[in-house]
Amino acid sequence: MYKIVKRIMDIMVALIFSIILLPIFIIIFVAIKIEDGGPIFYHQIRTGKNGKNFKLYKFRSMNVLPLELEMTVPHNQRITKVGKFLRKTSIDELPQVINILKGEMSLIGPRPWKTEYYELFTEEQKQRCDVLPGITGLAQSKGRNGISIFDKIKYDIEYAKNVSFKMDLQIILDSIVIIFKREHAEIMQEDIKTELEQLSNQTC
């Protein structure tokens, strides 16, 4: 029953946020355009509920480079000045209200990861994908990228098995505190590579 209510709440909150945050969105649009004139949004294929892939939206926080240069310039050197602020405050995640309205995400749920992660999951770990991914989740409220990949998965599975209004409310309150601390907000390309290696080695 709560899952139906949760979906209705997701739509309502996404619509309200879109209206209330419109002035902030406009400021971000202008700031991104002024800095380098590139596109405002960035999208990437992520794994969602039941292992289904979808296009995740974010505010662009990195310089746009030709394909031949993308792999040669270090990840941290591509982050723009505006992008650095967006990432630290998690504002870059706000366009995901689009994904919520499309039914691909929820406000609360396990973070949607790159498809490479799902391919390395055990059957037990795939349980984190039994629910819609979220803008924030239990793992984020417990320390964002400051905890290990296996702790993230453990918390995500715990959430998937025990979804409730009380848990969602607590996650929102804890996530607000974490965001204001601005700790462990970013995950670098090197960190992703390390996590993928750890998942790959778990069955060796």
Output the pLDDT for position 156.
Answer: 96
pLDDT band at 36 (very low <50, low <70, confident <90, very high): confident
Q: Which residue has the higher pLDDT, 184 or 110?
A: 110
Amino acid 91: pLDDT: 87
> What is the reported pLDDT for 150?
93
Which of the two residues, 174 and 161, has the higher pLDDT score? 161
Domain boundaries, the chain: 2-201
Pairing of strands 134-136, 41-47: unpaired
Average per-residue pLDDT for the chain? 87
pLDDT of residue 154: 94
pLDDT band at 181 (very low <50, low <70, confident <90, very high): low
- Helix ranges (DSSP H) in the chain: 2-20, 22-36, 67-70, 81-89, 97-101, 115-120, 138-141, 149-161, 165-181, 189-201
Residue 189 has pLDDT above 80, yes or no: no
**Least confident among 22-31, 87-96, 114-123:** 87-96
